Structure 1
């Protein structure tokens, strides 16, 4: 199991992989990890799942079957035993990353270096087709970007993205442990005090260079208000992306493209779209599948469109397989724009 076939398909159809191929890919990933990964070998010995039965139906039927077979990974177990999820004898280039720690103790997960190529293919295609960034940044108009965030996958991802547009990047690392609690209990000003070095360096860069692209979180966008006329693109993720924030950005940053992203340490960023005053996000198939679910008569079912359920996802890559419920709810939303698969909207923890 390797990345060659996956990347070949994504290069041709990064947002249009077909369901039949997705199902075949998922089956191969599950079969590989059931044989080679310590955690999943123990699960198969205990539950004896039948892959022929699991992968008979549609993607949504397969998704429900996987969750109803008891294949979900406990969050605390994953957090404490991350090495059990690395396939034995895996020959890729693995790097371990930490979660941001804004909500709870940091978790650790691993990526193959080739996954960054798969993630980048998805991000570039989505940003160009939805937001037309390739028409904004080119040889005659360079992207000059500044990005806030924790070190790790986040830095690698945003660097590769900016460079792909021929841009230059200032990356300002930040300590994020417990920031959501501070924001919730004390407000944005308290967050900015904790992040004083970031605030000072950001001001220094903004006063010296003509930055036209920013990647940050909602509480930090106030740092860019004095320079709003020069900011063409604002890429935002994290707590606080809602209708009120959309109104604030629209009023404060006139003419700025707002691009919402949903980030998670095991799969990186997912691209969002603003629809009907809501933000809808779409996973990067086939490596990440997500649906809101609920219990119906003791059985996990994907909710109907527009209905809210608990976020469930499958991360399926050669180097890692995780089946998990997230500690938040979201709406199920239909395919939109260039995406050929369902998304989720208005996530709330």
Structure 2
């Protein structure tokens, strides 16, 4: 399987991917990795169920079957054995990325270069349909952006996004290893001391250029408050996103469109919607599937809408297949806006 076929057929309209296509794609990815990928080849030899048994029913049934078949990968094993998840003789162009380390020990995952294109298509369509960015930024009104974040997928993703609007980007890389713990235990000033070069460069750019879009984390939005009148869009991701924070931010950035994203090193950013007092995030089907799960009578089942459960993730792409529980809980959110599938809301992550 390859991304050429995916981009030509399956992903012409990413917000219209239906359940039938998702199941067909998911089955194909499983078959590919069970034959080609070292870790999954070993699992296939010892698996009590076969894929025909697992792929019975609708998408939610299959999701539950996958987790109930014991296919979830242990977090520590994944962190220490990432090469086991690369298909043998894979023909694509792979780059290894590391997680940010903001909340726990860093992990390593890989992307095919074409996945960046897939992710970009999803982000552009979702951001334009929900937040109308294509109506704000054009040849007459150029996007002038600044972004804080870790090097790697984050830098590649935001660069491609800004350039697609004809914009220019100041990217300020930052090391975030253990930053959440410092912020929680010692406060904002201690966190900013660690990020002193970022703080200085941000001020320098904001004083010289007329930035109209910022991408940053909640604690760092304070750096942009003196320039709030010129900032039209603020894209925010990371720890600290909640209703109270957005209420306060809305008062300080009165004419700014605030956009929440959920970022993860294995799949990039997911677009969020502020709904009432909650934040709902929607995976980029069929490559990323996420449902909150609960354990009932020694079996995992997807929680009802509005209920909270432990986050289960399936990352299914030609270059990688990962099934895992996240050290995080979230509520199950119904379809909203342009999304025709369930999302997850108000994630609460543990530090480790």
TM > 0.5 fold call: yes
* Aligned residues of 1:272 and 1:281 also touching (Cα < 8 A): yes
Question: In the alignment, what sits opposite 1:101?
Answer: 101
Matches for 1:165-204 after TM superposition, within 5 Å: 165-204=165-204
Counterpart Cα distance in 1 of 2:310 and 2:342 = 15
Shift in Å, 1:222:
0.2
* Aligned residues of 2:11 and 2:17 also touching (Cα < 8 A): no
SS of structure 2 residue aligned to 1:130 = helix
Counterpart Cα distance in 2 of 1:56 and 1:74 = 25
Shift in Å, 1:187:
1.2
Structure 1 residue ranges (4+ consecutive) displaced by more than 4 angstroms after TM superposition:
none
Shift in Å, 1:8:
2.2
* Correspondence 1:333 to 2:333: yes
* Aligned residues of 1:10 and 1:118 also touching (Cα < 8 A): no
SS of structure 2 residue aligned to 1:15 = helix
Question: In the alignment, what sits opposite 1:156?
Answer: 156
Give per-residue Cα distances to partners, 1:150-182, cap 9 Å, x unaligned: 000000000000000000000000011100100
SS of structure 1 residue aligned to 2:2 = coil
Give per-residue Cα distances to partners, 1:27-64, cap 9 Å, x unaligned: 00000000000000111111143111211211100000
* Aligned residues of 1:215 and 1:234 also touching (Cα < 8 A): yes
Give per-residue Cα distances to partners, 1:279-321, cap 9 Å, x unaligned: 1000000000000000011100000000000000100000000
Give per-residue Cα distances to partners, 1:56-77, cap 9 Å, x unaligned: 2111000000000000000000
Matches for 1:200-279 after TM superposition, within 5 Å: 200-279=200-279
* Aligned residues of 2:292 and 2:303 also touching (Cα < 8 A): yes
Question: In the alignment, what sits opposite 1:26?
Answer: 26
Shift in Å, 1:10:
5.2
* Aligned residues of 1:281 and 1:343 also touching (Cα < 8 A): yes
SS of structure 1 residue aligned to 2:169 = strand
Counterpart Cα distance in 2 of 1:180 and 1:5 = 41
Counterpart Cα distance in 2 of 1:105 and 1:345 = 24
- Cα RMSD for the two superposed structures: 0.8
Question: In the alignment, what sits opposite 2:281?
Answer: 281
SS of structure 2 residue aligned to 1:305 = coil
Shift in Å, 1:125:
0.4
Question: In the alignment, what sits opposite 1:142?
Answer: 142
Unaligned runs of 5+ in 2: none
SS of structure 2 residue aligned to 1:339 = coil
- The answer to which of 242-251 and 70-79 deviates more is 242-251
Counterpart Cα distance in 1 of 2:23 and 2:5 = 14
What's the TM-score, normalizing by structure 2? 0.98
* Aligned residues of 2:310 and 2:329 also touching (Cα < 8 A): yes
* Correspondence 1:111 to 2:111: yes
Question: In the alignment, what sits opposite 1:129?
Answer: 129
SS of structure 2 residue aligned to 1:114 = helix
* Aligned residues of 2:100 and 2:106 also touching (Cα < 8 A): yes
SS of structure 1 residue aligned to 2:229 = helix
What's the TM-score, normalizing by structure 1? 0.99
Question: In the alignment, what sits opposite 1:312?
Answer: 312
Counterpart Cα distance in 2 of 1:68 and 1:105 = 27
* Correspondence 1:44 to 2:44: yes
Counterpart Cα distance in 2 of 1:57 and 1:96 = 35
Shift in Å, 1:338:
0.1
Unaligned runs of 5+ in 1: none
SS of structure 1 residue aligned to 2:228 = helix
- Equivalent pairs counted in the alignment come to 349
